[in-house]
Amino acid sequence: MNNELRLRIFAGAMVLLSAALVYFVSPWWLIFTAFIGINLMQSAFTGFCPPLWVLRRIWPEAVASDRCPASPRPPEFRS
């Protein structure tokens, strides 16, 4: 299983968890859902992926870097 698949499983699980919390606990949990969406957009634009910190704790042998696997590499700067 590669990092991209692990990341998608983790994001999907967090969205399902937030939906269950909204339904069973309180509509205020929609803030958590919005945070997940913002984080996914941020990682798509920057390539920096904070959920990989969490995945490193769950699957320590699998995650080698903090870069999202599906994101493009940042441009090289030459001086």
Give the Cα separation of 32 and 50 in Å (integer).
15
Name which of 50, 66, 61, 45 is nearest 10 in CA terms.
50
- Mean pLDDT (whole number) for 20-45: 92
- Answer yes or no: is pLDDT of 69 > 80: no
- Mean pLDDT (whole number) for 39-56: 84
User: Residue 26 falls within a domain, yes or no?
Assistant: yes
pLDDT of residue 49: 83
pLDDT of residue 3: 76
User: Residue 37 falls within a domain, yes or no?
Assistant: yes
Which has the higher per-residue pLDDT, 4 or 13?
Answer: 13
Give the Cα separation of 7 and 48 in Å (integer).
13
Q: Count structural domains, the chain.
A: 1
**Is the pTM value of this prediction over 0.75?**
no
User: Residue 66 falls within a domain, yes or no?
Assistant: no
Domain enclosing residue 7, as ranges: 3-58
User: Residue 15 falls within a domain, yes or no?
Assistant: yes
Phi-psi sector, 35: left (phi>0), alpha (psi -120 to 50), beta = alpha
- Answer yes or no: is pLDDT of 74 > 70: no
User: Residue 38 falls within a domain, yes or no?
Assistant: yes
